A and B are shown apart, each in its own frame.
Chain A
Amino acid sequence: MISLQHVTKIYKGQITALDDVTVDIDKGEFVFVVGPSGSGKSTMMRLLLKEEQVSGGAIFVAGKNLEKLTPWRVPYLRRNIGTVFQDFKLLQDKTVFENVSFALDVIGKQKSVIDQRVPEILDYVGLGDKLNNYPDELSGGEQQRVSIARACVNRPLVLLADEPTGNLDPQTSVDIMRLLDKVNRIGTTVVMATHDQAIVDAMRRRVIELEDGHVVRDQARGVYS
């Protein structure tokens, strides 16, 4: 599903964020990417979304070589990748329903599809009764659920989560992890960058550890360190 082959990323010709990284992630896997700040986790995420270009090596997502992807094809790549962030990135002037439907609206989905899928996915993430609330009326955990619903409503092949529990308390984080696990179990490949040791240790999934842009550990059913 995702394949990084000898990927190097150098910013402005001098700061090396990733150095000769080779990683293969299969369809349906759940992978933690761990490592200290500045180890290259976020850069990896950005490269997978083609927000940045690789400096060397090649990246394949869902069988497509990202380097050969023309700019106008990039949006179609992103429709296959859901994204979840630490800060939720919800629109405060839109309701829960609108925040999720927005993702389908802007890629030109029919209203009938939207009216069917949005309540369905919100029900799935446990917010079936909050469709008309605004983000500031929700708890942090609920807001993150909305953002997961938005990421999954178009049924992506891959879900990228960048520190999704970074702003949440431990109990809420566990709930969010249960939800991501649920999303993973229906076949979505999940890649999650995190600092959260307790969660990584509890989940016992594949762990890829980065340090100074190198892969220093790639372990099935691993722990944080």
Chain B
Amino acid sequence: MVRLDYYFRETVTGLRRNGLVVFAAILTAFIALLLLGMALLIRREVDLIVANTTGRVEVVVYLADDIGPDQQDRLNGILSELSVVSQVDYESKEEAYERAKELFGPDSPIIANVGPETFPASFRVKLSEPEDYKVVVATVENEPGVDEVNAQQEFLDKLFALTSLFRNGVLVLAFAMLLASAILIANTVRMGLFARRREIGIMKLVGATNWRIRVPFLIEGVIEGVLGAALAIAILLAAMVIFIEPLHDSVTFVPWIETSDVLVIAPIMVLGGIAVSFIASLLAMRRFLDV
């Protein structure tokens, strides 16, 4: 029968003995996991904003003035069959004129000097995958009857470049912090091993197996990681309630992540804390405990 109380007692002894170092390890794990959590939340927020923005983005296929009804039907068919397209709307010259009037105001000199014939008819194409707007452009660009395709390309390219930079940047930062906390946890485990080297020497002499010696230190490391994660989750929840929730009402032009989103990423943070501290402890003990 495995006596669990042995591992429990040894772990508690270890944690108590190196109080300050343990505290430092929990603190770094906490900071690293807080950054990881923030990175994950920022990603969710960026995703929300991108979805919100690009959901309204459409590719506009302007039609030549001399387009015939057959060509127009054919284009409509081509566009509708594309898998990235969710909806195709036809806008006639008159509708374009009405929209321009609304945009500039009925009394605007621009509107006063032109009629519906000035505005091109167009297909307004909504996309299910906004990143794939280039497919639409490439497909219809050179079709007969197409005058010009406007995909707001520059805007989209910049948006996607910026968001991917942002999303990956925070993640890289978080992983760098995880690495730093792994090194610190490894260090505390090492110091614990060093502080108890006499005891470990005797354990080896009387025939304790390596795992029997290692497990309490492993548990110690994992506890540090989990405590750091718990602290980070608590702080994130508090920050959401204090800083983000008031924004829901005052800043309404962008969608906001919810406080409950923290609970969605919490398991990732806890698992991250466990994984990092487990691996760190294992690496710290590798050389120290060879027979």
> B206, A150: Cβ atoms under 8 Å?
yes
Please list 9 pairs of residues, one from A and one from B, whose beta carbons are closer than 8 Å in the complex, sorted by A's number. Answer: A51-B291, A72-B209, A76-B207, A78-B205, A89-B198, A102-B202, A103-B202, A107-B208, A154-B206
Choose among A74, A107, A111 the residue that contacts B206 (Cβ–Cβ < 8 A): A107
A144 → B minimal CB distance (Å): 15
> B207, A105: Cβ atoms under 8 Å?
no
Given A91-B202, A102-B202, A79 and B3 contact (CB-CB distance below 8 Å): no
Is A71 in the interface zone, CB < 8 Å from B? yes
A91 → B minimal CB distance (Å): 6
B interface residues, Cβ below 8 angstroms from A: 1-3, 6, 198-199, 201-210, 212-213, 291
Is A210 in the interface zone, CB < 8 Å from B? no
Is A186 in the interface zone, CB < 8 Å from B? no
B287 → A minimal CB distance (Å): 14
Given contacts A89-B205, A106-B6, A107-B206, 13 further A-B contacts (CB under 8 A): A74-B291, A75-B208, A75-B209, A76-B207, A78-B206, A78-B207, A89-B201, A91-B198, A91-B199, A102-B202, A103-B206, A107-B209, A150-B206
> A71, B291: Cβ atoms under 8 Å?
yes
Q: Compute the total of residue contacts between A and B using a CB distance below 8 Å.
A: 56
Is A77 in the interface zone, CB < 8 Å from B? yes
CA distance A49 to B99 in the complex (A): 92
A interface residues, Cβ below 8 angstroms from B: 49-51, 71-72, 74-79, 83, 89, 91, 102-103, 105-108, 110-111, 150, 154
> B291, A106: Cβ atoms under 8 Å?
no
Counting chain B CB atoms within 10 Å of each CB, which of A79, A105, A111, A154 scores highest?
A105
CA distance A158 to B213 in the complex (A): 24
Counting chain A CB atoms within 10 Å of each CB, which of B205, B209, B291 scores highest?
B205
- Chain A residues with CB under 8 Å of B207's CB are 75-79, 107, 154
Closest to B290 in A: A71
CA distance A50 to B208 in the complex (A): 14
A168 → B minimal CB distance (Å): 20
Choose among B6, B198, B204, B212 the residue that contacts A78 (Cβ–Cβ < 8 A): B204
A147 → B minimal CB distance (Å): 10
B10 → A minimal CB distance (Å): 9
CA distance A111 to B212 in the complex (A): 17
- Chain B residues with CB under 8 Å of A106's CB are 6, 203, 206, 208, 212-213
B205 → A minimal CB distance (Å): 5
Closest to A80 in B: B207
Choose among B2, B6, B210 the residue that contacts A75 (Cβ–Cβ < 8 A): B210
Given A108-B6, A108-B212, A83 and B291 contact (CB-CB distance below 8 Å): no
A59 → B minimal CB distance (Å): 15
CA distance A87 to B1 in the complex (A): 34
